[in-house]
Amino acid sequence: MLLSVPVSCREPHYFLAWTISSQCYNTGKVTIKSGGNVLVEAHKNSRNCNFTMLNQSHADINSNIVQVEVEIKEAVNELKNSKTGGAILDNAGRKVGYVYSVCIEDGADDDYNDIYINLVGWSKKG
């Protein structure tokens, strides 16, 4: 099963950081793309439920859309996601970035903890 989740950065030219983790039994792959470029392809190759950090990194992006793709071939049920996000504001209330969390469910228990992706982007780097 393949699930694609778009995440809007609202504006291009961001410094983006991410963390990808899993505690699902199945193997799978998480791909983060922006502007047609693959930023990361993180693989879960083991079949166990241990909490596993799959990837943590960063990139400069020039697109206002980030695409998160999750592929779990062994999933019997349709992949589901719960996405939440919000703005990072400075003391004057101006938006200086954003943060999104994407939680993936690959089974029928609806715990939404099988794959977790956290994205945070800032308009300035450093």
pLDDT tens track for 45-83: 999 999 999 999 999 988 888 999 999 988 888 999 999
The mean pLDDT of the chain is 91
* Domains held by the chain: number: 1
* Percent share of the chain, pLDDT over 70: 96
At residue 80, the pLDDT reads 95
Token couple for 106: 């690959």
Q: Which domain holds residue 65?
A: 2-122
Token couple for 67: 């695409």
Nearest CA among 99, 80, 103 for reference residue 23? 103
Chain centroid to CA 112: how far?
13
Residues 6+ apart with CB under 8 A from 62: 12, 13, 34, 35
Q: Give the number of other Cβ atoms within 10 Å of residue 81's Cβ.
A: 16
CB-based burial, 47-79: b 16+ in 10 Å, e otherwise: eeeeeeebbeeebebeeeebbbebbbeebeeeb
At residue 10, the pLDDT reads 65
CATH number of the domain that residue 29 is part of = 2.60.120.400
